[in-house]
Structure 1
Amino acid sequence: MKYEYIYTINENCDNKIENSFCVKKDIDNLYIDIDIEEKFSLMIYVVAIDSNGVIRMQKQLGYGEKTLLISSSSNTTSIGGYAGPIVKGEWKLIVYIFKEYLVQLLDGKTFNFSIYVSDKCDKKVSQTIGEESWTNYKLEKGKITYNNYNWNKVINDKERWYKGDFHTHTVLSDGKETVKDAMKKARNMKLDFYVPTEHNLIHTGWPKTEVLAIPGIEITTSYGHLNIFGINEIPNSILDIAENVDNNEFLEKEINDLLENNYKNNYINSINHPFLSVWRWKYRNIDLRYINTLEIINDPTYMDAKVANDMAIKFIDLLWNNGHKIYGVGGSDSHNLIDERYDGADKPSIPGDPSTYVFCNKLTANNILDSVRSGNVYVTRGLKLETEIKVGSKTYMPGDRINICLNKEIHYKCKIIPEENINIKIYIVINGEKTLINHKLKENEFFIDYIHEIENEEYTWIRLEIRDEEDNFLGYINPIYYGRKEPNKITYGEMLDEMEKLNEN
């Protein structure tokens, strides 16, 4: 069996090009071999759908292998594949063009590439799913589902803060690291958990590792990027989004519907890098009631990161002032090799920078996600924190609602443990107002002991923020709060207008 397809790509071509081929006999392996210039690989997504309507391969060519294999085993199936029987009948081969890269790379030119589909290939495939398959080929839904992922598997039975990264990339999309190399980085950064969030793609399994991998995806369009954590299947609309990646009218409704559906399914919706350059969030009409978290710190080594991240922190404060309970998370958004640096950066872009710490009684995927929904989270660069928040004898965590006890005090203690010798500034932030507070230093560890008196039942939120002497971000602890306030501005655009008014004043 062998099929050949030749593609001509230019700025006027369709976003979606579909062909079909027929599997007429029983075969063990199905190869999809792509012959393309490396510099054009980033703009090409390849999807194969079997005769049962199940997506069996989904891959951005990027920096990964260009020979893809589908087989019955996750150990031999290429990353992004759905291991299982090679069913007979008519299959679809779909190529999607990522227009963001198309404009950047073509500059008005045209290029050609070829795809060969066959049951035999002399090229070696090494970038495979791994030993742990999250899927088991079934037809009840006709799509990839995580029916083999153990959400309650206990990786560590200790009650403590767990360190991880909520925004990462590998060679499945446009990252340069294989999954195994990414896991080496994660171990070196002492990460407990790692969320792979590929562009409009999902992982279908993982190599064996002591780091907990939690399924995620980055919905990627020309008008903004959205992470979804805790998904148990590939989103229904993902191929429609890939086809209409730059159609704003279509996407505005599609993204809102997706957010609502995710929220109902208890997935976590997280807006990524909302103010970062060309990737800032532009969906003004999305309903903020369906948003769980906001990425307040995205890859701090990137050129425009400081201004964009500081704006994200300012924006999330504004959300809290309006009554929204949207929690801050961090994401390295790491794409690069360990020896690479962005222009002007003194450190590499690496998983775990920033680190997002989540408090759990045991390390499981479900526990991490539940704690994120509750805001029991802080984000740091090069710091570990130990918090103790009490009202009387009752202890609270970041993200918690305080039971109002008039004339009682909130006793907020925090120990700050830096990885290297630095001088820091610590701010208490109450309803958006930042106040520098005193701290003690002992053996390169910093301590604060702050008391806030509850004088009335008015809605109030309180958080800590840590900066270095040059005002660079070091730490953000999600707010505690008391009282009640219902948001009176529901859409992202309404809140963005509020922020612009504040900036004008």
Structure 2
Amino acid sequence: MRIRFAFSSEPFEVQSATFTVQHATCIDIFLVDVPFEHLFLVLKDPEQQIRALLTCKTRTKHFIVSESAASSSNNTLAGKILPGIWTITFVRPALHVGAVVLDVIPGDTPTGVTTPDNFSVLSQRPNRVLQHAEKWYRGDLHCHSYYSDGRVSLSDICDSAEDNGFDYLAVTDHSVITTRLPHRPFLVLPATEITLDNEVHYNAFGFNKLIDYGHYFSWHNVSKNTILTQLFHDLSGEGVLISINHPFSEGMTLQHDFDVRDIHLFEVINAPHLAGHPIDNDKAIRFYDFLWNQGFRLTATGGSDAHKPDGNGVYPLGKPTTAIFSRELSIAGLLAGLRAGRTTISNEVDCQLHLRQSGRTIYPGDEVSGEVNFAASCSAHALSWRLMKNGDCVEETYAQTFIRNISLQKGDVIRLEARRNEEIVFFMTPIHYGITLPSVFQFAALLAQFLLTQKD
């Protein structure tokens, strides 16, 4: 069956088409003619269960929804192909012109390559433990495959993660959730980069189901910001952690508005490997410090945002890495570590950080008063270490090690960063004491206040 969705002139829209399945064990979906844009397709079975969430901004044009997990495509969920009326919903979250054309073909024989070595990402038990050890776990929280606009396979990404010795990985293809991934020894965090347009992008972690974008964008007489606010509120209520990504990268217009109380994370270092440095990580860090000073306890994260091999043919996964301190290597453990702010970010340096107070260990994100000892080191380089208090540098030292005591008073937010040739290479979520609760909650108002403090 051929389905065509022609775009209207509305700022966003939802259209649906139905087709009948009588006797089938699989459904082939071919993206025949689709714009390479952030447009979504949601497939539901007769019981209104989501069986596929696809983006038009993908280099993959054929998907299989199957009863067999081995023959089910990524971005789909295996299960019984029920007889009855199936629905495919097209979601256009931003203004575009044109149309989407696809073929939907129920059948008995999948017309693709089986992947018996893949596992179901969303079927993982959150409390399944890969390592019973309380320690720092390393990985990359931001990367893309050809299931969105990346230029590498999921196998390539997994190979790179394994070569890097990662403990965990999050594949964040735009707006879709990776459902099938090759078996590897590391943990996989179910994730996506929610991308409605090029105003702001958001990573989200900890899913156990696919997102029903059609539900939100089918509302009438509401703004996109209202939809975004409710989506974030609902995801946050389900335990999903949401991050503001690379806010000051080229092309980001920052026109979204939402309640920042539903945001948990902030990407302070994004894709420093890119030629020409199109992403202003320093400005992002200043905004991050500003939000902390407004009372938002946001966990710092970093991500390579890797899409393709670099000029040397190397896929830049892990540039940077985010280390998460967790009681164990499990989905629940890593999410708890992220929620608590127990993170450091490193870009091509091997840094160690130890925080102590009266003989006990302190961790990034902790609330603590009084004197705390900072002890940090870099194994191979002298770095410019900067101790930051409430967004201002209070001490800077060029050395391989940094050891200082500093006292936290009420309202203090203190963190340590390190730079090499003025480029940020190490960062930690702050420790803090007695910071005031936020009085302004809307992103647009907070951004406007921040921009007034900037000279650029």
Both proteins in one fold, TM over 0.5? yes
Are 1:229 and 2:224 counterparts? no
Structure 2 spans left out of the alignment, 5+ residues: none
Alignment partners' CA distance in 2, 1:458 and 1:98: 44
8 Å CA contact 2:176, 2:192 repeated in 1: yes
How far apart are 1:232 and its partner, in Å? 2.2
1:492 is matched by which residue type in structure 2? F
Aligned CA distance change for structure 1 residues 9 and 281 (closer, same or farther; 3 Å): closer
1:281 is matched by which residue type in structure 2? L
How far apart are 1:130 and its partner, in Å? 5.3
Alignment partners' CA distance in 2, 1:188 and 1:34: 34
Cα deviations across residues 219-275 of structure 1 (Å, max 9, x unaligned)? 211232222211222334x2245679xx99522112212222333333212111122
3-state secondary structure, aligned to 2:251: helix
Alignment partners' CA distance in 2, 1:112 and 1:290: 33
Alignment correspondent of 1:212: 187
Alignment partners' CA distance in 1, 2:90 and 2:117: 25
Note the aligned Cα RMSD (angstroms).
Answer: 3.0
Cα deviations across residues 353-396 of structure 1 (Å, max 9, x unaligned)? 11111112321111111011111101111122222211212220
Are 1:499 and 2:450 counterparts? yes
Aligned CA distance change for structure 1 residues 496 and 55 (closer, same or farther; 3 Å): same
Structure 1 spans left out of the alignment, 5+ residues: 104-109, 135-145, 441-445
Alignment correspondent of 1:133: 120
Alignment correspondent of 2:403: 449
Alignment partners' CA distance in 2, 1:7 and 1:261: 28
Alignment partners' CA distance in 2, 1:12 and 1:251: 12
In the TM superposition, 1:14-33 aligns within 5 A as 15-25=13-23, 27-33=24-30
Alignment correspondent of 2:147: 172
In the TM superposition, 1:108-127 aligns within 5 A as 113-119=101-107, 123-125=111-113
Question: Which has more radius of gyration?
Answer: 1
Aligned CA distance change for structure 1 residues 242 and 76 (closer, same or farther; 3 Å): farther
Alignment partners' CA distance in 2, 1:18 and 1:185: 39
3-state secondary structure, aligned to 1:191: coil
8 Å CA contact 1:241, 1:251 repeated in 2: no
Alignment correspondent of 2:325: 359
Alignment partners' CA distance in 2, 1:256 and 1:129: 39
8 Å CA contact 1:191, 1:211 repeated in 2: yes
1:411 is matched by which residue type in structure 2? N
Alignment partners' CA distance in 1, 2:117 and 2:16: 29
3-state secondary structure, aligned to 1:372: helix
Are 1:189 and 2:164 counterparts? yes
Alignment partners' CA distance in 1, 2:239 and 2:162: 29
Alignment correspondent of 1:395: 361
2:303 is matched by which residue type in structure 1? G
3-state secondary structure, aligned to 2:195: strand
Match of 2:259 among 260, 266, 287: 287
In the TM superposition, 1:313-324 aligns within 5 A as 313-324=285-296
In the TM superposition, 1:189-338 aligns within 5 A as 189-222=164-197, 223-236=199-212, 238-240=213-215, 250-284=223-257, 286-302=258-274, 305=277, 308-336=280-308, 338=309
8 Å CA contact 1:330, 1:355 repeated in 2: yes
Greater Cα shift, 323-332 or 363-372:
323-332
Alignment correspondent of 2:86: 91
Alignment partners' CA distance in 1, 2:427 and 2:354: 15
8 Å CA contact 2:2, 2:101 repeated in 1: no
8 Å CA contact 1:42, 1:174 repeated in 2: no
2:271 is matched by which residue type in structure 1? D
Alignment partners' CA distance in 1, 2:320 and 2:216: 29
Alignment partners' CA distance in 2, 1:64 and 1:495: 37
Aligned CA distance change for structure 1 residues 391 and 384 (closer, same or farther; 3 Å): same
8 Å CA contact 2:4, 2:99 repeated in 1: no
Alignment partners' CA distance in 1, 2:80 and 2:406: 62
Alignment correspondent of 2:48: 53
8 Å CA contact 1:22, 1:89 repeated in 2: yes
Cα deviations across residues 121-141 of structure 1 (Å, max 9, x unaligned)? 684335x5953224xxxxxxx
1:119 is matched by which residue type in structure 2? G
Aligned CA distance change for structure 1 residues 476 and 449 (closer, same or farther; 3 Å): same
8 Å CA contact 1:20, 1:92 repeated in 2: yes
How far apart are 1:114 and its partner, in Å? 4.6
How far apart are 1:165 and its partner, in Å? 1.4
Are 1:5 and 2:3 counterparts? yes
How far apart are 1:334 and its partner, in Å? 1.8
Cα deviations across residues 44-72 of structure 1 (Å, max 9, x unaligned)? 54432211111222222545442321211
TM-score relative to the length of structure 2: 0.89
Q: How many residues align?
A: 455
8 Å CA contact 2:28, 2:110 repeated in 1: no
Alignment partners' CA distance in 1, 2:431 and 2:154: 36
3-state secondary structure, aligned to 1:383: coil
Alignment partners' CA distance in 2, 1:303 and 1:242: 37
8 Å CA contact 1:65, 1:125 repeated in 2: no
1:272 is matched by which residue type in structure 2? N
3-state secondary structure, aligned to 1:438: strand
8 Å CA contact 1:62, 1:171 repeated in 2: no
How far apart are 1:156 and its partner, in Å? 2.1
TM-score relative to the length of structure 1: 0.81
8 Å CA contact 2:273, 2:316 repeated in 1: no
Greater Cα shift, 203-212 or 78-87:
203-212
8 Å CA contact 1:129, 1:206 repeated in 2: no
8 Å CA contact 2:53, 2:211 repeated in 1: no
Alignment partners' CA distance in 2, 1:382 and 1:95: 42
Alignment partners' CA distance in 2, 1:433 and 1:215: 36
8 Å CA contact 1:389, 1:413 repeated in 2: yes
8 Å CA contact 2:384, 2:420 repeated in 1: yes
Q: Give the fraction of aligned pairs with identical amino acids, expressed as a percent.
A: 23
Aligned CA distance change for structure 1 residues 447 and 92 (closer, same or farther; 3 Å): same
8 Å CA contact 1:293, 1:328 repeated in 2: yes
Alignment correspondent of 1:443: none
1:327 is matched by which residue type in structure 2? T
How far apart are 1:427 and its partner, in Å? 0.6
Alignment correspondent of 1:138: none
8 Å CA contact 2:52, 2:65 repeated in 1: yes
3-state secondary structure, aligned to 1:210: coil
8 Å CA contact 1:430, 1:462 repeated in 2: yes
3-state secondary structure, aligned to 1:156: coil
Alignment partners' CA distance in 1, 2:266 and 2:229: 16
3-state secondary structure, aligned to 2:223: helix
3-state secondary structure, aligned to 1:279: coil
1:458 is matched by which residue type in structure 2? K
8 Å CA contact 1:359, 1:377 repeated in 2: yes
8 Å CA contact 1:67, 1:123 repeated in 2: no
